Structure formats: C-alpha cells, structure tokens
Amino acid sequence: MFMREIELKGHIIDSFILAKVFDRTLELGGDYKVLEFDIGKKKIDTSYAKLLISGDTQQHLDQILEELQNVGANIPEIENANLKPALKDSVLPDGFYSTTNHPTHVKVNDEWIEVANPKMDAVIVVYPEEKRAETKVIRKVKKGDFVLIGHNGIRVMPPEKSREAGQLFEFMNSEVSSEKPKEAIIKRIAKEMHEIREEYKKTGTGGIAIVGGPAIIHTGGGPALAKMVELGYIQAILAGNALATHDIESALYGTSLGVNIKTAKPVTGGHKHHIYAINAINDAGNIKNAVESGVLKEGIMYQCIKNNIPYVLAGSIRDDGPIPDVITDSMVAQDKMRTTVMDKKMVIMLSTLLHSVATGNLMPSYIKTVCVDIQPSTVTKLMDRGTSQAIGVVTDVGVFLVLLLKELERLELQE
C-alpha cells in the first residue's frame, strides 16, 4: 500500500468536508485511517483532523489525493507545484491539473500564490517571475505557458457554511425541496439583496446579476424584474435572445408567445408577435436605439438601457432572428459572461437550465448563488455540474419575482 497523510481544518463537519473526504476516498477504491480528530466545542470554534490515506499504487494514491484536495484537504509538508510548458497553442501537457471553482493557491519557489479568477474545468497557468497565477480555459493556453501538473503545490479552499443563525445561506443549507416555506426564503433573499445594493451604492463594487430565461415573461414576472432594475437591485443581466425578445413583445403587444399576459388567453395572430418584436428592433438598429427613439417604452430591456445596466445576450441554434444585440459567437459570449459576472456578490438564476449551468461553470464558488425554478431537477443538475454553492428555490418564477419585489419595496419603506 502507498500512503500519505492529509489534514482538514476549519468547519469541516457542518460544511460536510469531512464526510466528502471519507466518501470520495472509498468511492475511488482507497482507504483511510483517522490519526487525529479535534472537534470544536463552540459554534465559532474550528475542527481539525489528520487522516492517513492509502492506495494500491502511487498513481492510484495520487488520483485520490487530487480529488481530496478539490474538496478542501491539505497535504502537510507540501512540495512546490510541478510546471510544464505547453508545446502548442491550446494543447496541454500530459497530467495537467483540472481546476475547481473554489479559491486556490499554488506553491511556487516555496511561496504561496493566489490563483486569479477561479473557475471549474480550466487549468492553472503560472508566471514564476511575476509571482502570478491564473486560470485559463484550454483554448486560451499559448505555447510556452507554464501549466500546473499533478496535485503537488495546490491548496483548495471550498466555501464554508455560514456560521450566523438566520442568514440565508445558513438557513437553506443547499437543499432542494418544493416544501420549503417560500415566504421565509424570499424574505431572506430580499434582505441579502438589500444589503448588497446598499454596499454597491457606497463602493460601486459587487452587486447582483440575474441569469434569466423567457419563463420570466411567460409567467408574468417581467414587470417585477423591470422594477428591480429601476430600483437599483440589479447590476447585470445574462440571458439569451428569448428573454429579450419576449420582454420586448410584451412591451409592444402585451403578449408573450402570443398569449395575453394579463388574461392568459391566446390572441388571434399572436404567434407572430415575437417576430414583429424582432423586426421592430432590427428596424431601430438595436435595443438602445429603440428606447431612445421611443419605440420601446417599458420592460426589462428598457430599464437596462435607461439605468445603464450591462446585459449579455448569448445566442443559440434555436434563436428566431436574433435581435441585433445577441452575441452569436458562443466563445465571445462566454468570455463576456465571465467578465460580467466575476465581480458580483450574488447571482440569481431564474428558470433557465442551460444559461444557469453555463454561468455556474464560469464563476468562482464564493459568489452567493440562488437558483429558482419550478422543476427541482434544474437546481439538482446545476449542483451536480459543480455549482455546489447554489441554493435552490422550487417555485413558479413569476410568483417568486412578484413576492420578492413586494418584500424589497417593504425594505425600501423602512429606510
């Protein structure tokens, strides 16, 4: 057997780090022995554990250790990181380390360096002379870049559960259930949003991003979201052609996919309204021109233009049109989405599985994430694909937004 000691420090019990280490070791065919275990006695106290991890071969042990590092294990007396240059653009050296979305440090020349812009499924490129490291997606790796190899010289720090009773992320505990008390959840989300907005007003940093799908409009939640933009609660919107198109359709014709939003009844000829909406924006040149010329007078996109809120509309193969503002090059859209979301304090994902998973893949785990969808599977898939920090609210998105706005307006009155 090949063996190596590891250490776990922090709130390793209620953040499930210890359980994950046990489970992953056994799942990978390894074994463990607890050498030391010191449990914090008070809520603010941290815990400590030292484990002996064993594998059948050195390669098997290395595979286990790399997985355990990704959930927060540290290796005592850790060696410097192994680096190899890329021999071609977009081609990685064998044995490259694939990143998590957690804050990460690498040890280079006996000095720990924080890795900039953490995201999952990327690699770590190190610039030793500059004492700098960053994540890069494979398509952006250039010949000669020093890429981190293996698991030596890495520290990964997963986010820990909130220690403050009554806080949103402590309350939710990252569980997905349709039976949670919606009113209590919405109050906590509103309180968190209010605090983030007040901080943004003072510092101009942080803020909240919305990742939205067309169901926001279909379910009648568009006016509520537009009002949140107007009130300064939203600092960015990430979506596709559909959200913008149906938002504009609802503003011009009062329908969404040809259904009257107020009466929920189909309108004769309404199936053409979203094409009419696209045509109106094409004629204006873009959304901004449509607002400035008076063609578009309300809605989410209208409020974004009026309040100078950036939006990224990423195209897809399913799009009608699309409207001129849609970015049809998926790699360009991906880069812009990541740049837009990286500095946010919170991301709220509203009824859009594909955009939610895509955004989750682009951002670090320390950004507070809320996923709202009528389908529990959407929230579960988001977490299964690596966005473990997300909390799930299983409910109708239209009702959610109306109640959330009501709670935010109540907080406004208390100021």
Mean local confidence (pLDDT), 25-42: 91
pLDDT for 235 equals: 98
77-157 CATH: 2.40.420.10
Domain 1-76, what fold?
Answer: Alpha-Beta Plaits (3.30.70)
Q: Please tell me the least confidently modeled range out of 95-99, 175-179, 182-186.
A: 175-179
- Judged against a pLDDT cut of 60, whether residue 146 lies above it is answered with yes
Please tell me whether 395 is known to bind a ligand: no
pLDDT for 164 equals: 57
Checking DSSP bridges between strand 47-55 and strand 2-10, what pairing results, if any? antiparallel
- Judged against a pLDDT cut of 90, whether residue 166 lies above it is answered with no
Give phi and psi for 258, each to the nearest 5.
Answer: 80, 5
Calpha distance 83→132 (Å, rounded): 13
- Judged against a pLDDT cut of 60, whether residue 165 lies above it is answered with no
All CATH 3.30.70.2690 domain ranges in the chain, comma separated? 1-76
pLDDT for 45 equals: 83
CATH 1.20.1250.20 is the classification of domain 180-411: no
Q: How far apart are the first and last CA of the chain?
A: 64
Cβ atoms of residues 80 and 108 within 8 Å: yes
All CATH 2.40.420.10 domain ranges in the chain, comma separated? 77-157
pLDDT for 382 equals: 82
Confidence of residue 11 (pLDDT cuts 50, 70, 90): confident
As given in the structure block, the two tokens for residue 148 are: 């981190």
- Judged against a pLDDT cut of 80, whether residue 57 lies above it is answered with yes
Please tell me whether 241 is known to bind a ligand: yes
The b/e string for 57-73 (b: 16+ C-beta within 10 A; e otherwise) is: eeebbbbbbbbbbbbbb
All CATH 3.40.50.10690 domain ranges in the chain, comma separated? 180-411
Residue 352's contacts (CB-CB under 8 Å, 6 or more residues apart) are: 211, 212, 213, 215, 239, 240, 243
Cβ atoms of residues 298 and 290 within 8 Å: no
Please tell me whether 62 is known to bind a ligand: no
pLDDT for 190 equals: 95
Please tell me whether 361 is known to bind a ligand: no
pTM of the model: 0.86
The tens digit of pLDDT for each residue in 285-300 reads: 999 999 999 999 999 9
Percentage of the chain surpassing pLDDT 70?
A: 94
- Judged against a pLDDT cut of 50, whether residue 258 lies above it is answered with yes
DSSP string, 380-395: HHHHHTT-TTEEEEES
Please tell me whether 313 is known to bind a ligand: no
As given in the structure block, the two tokens for residue 204 are: 């101009």
Confidence of residue 282 (pLDDT cuts 50, 70, 90): very high
pLDDT for 40 equals: 84
Mean local confidence (pLDDT), 67-76: 87
Q: In what order do the strands lie in the sheet with 31-38?
A: 2-10, 47-55, 31-38
Checking DSSP bridges between strand 346-350 and strand 368-373, what pairing results, if any? parallel
The tens digit of pLDDT for each residue in 321-362 reads: 999 999 999 999 999 999 999 999 999 999 999 999 999 999
Percentage of the chain surpassing pLDDT 90?
A: 73
Please tell me whether 289 is known to bind a ligand: no
Please tell me whether 226 is known to bind a ligand: no
DSSP string, 82-120: EEEE-SBTTBPPTTBPPP-SS-EEEEETTEEEEEES--T
pLDDT for 51 equals: 94
Q: Please tell me the least confidently modeled range out of 41-50, 160-169, 268-277, 313-322.
A: 160-169
Checking DSSP bridges between strand 346-350 and strand 123-127, what pairing results, if any? unpaired
Mean local confidence (pLDDT), 123-137: 96
Please tell me whether 397 is known to bind a ligand: yes
Cβ atoms of residues 215 and 397 within 8 Å: yes
pLDDT for 174 equals: 46
Confidence of residue 380 (pLDDT cuts 50, 70, 90): confident
- Residue type present at position 263: T
The secondary structure of residue 344, as a DSSP letter, is -
Confidence of residue 173 (pLDDT cuts 50, 70, 90): very low
Please tell me whether 384 is known to bind a ligand: no
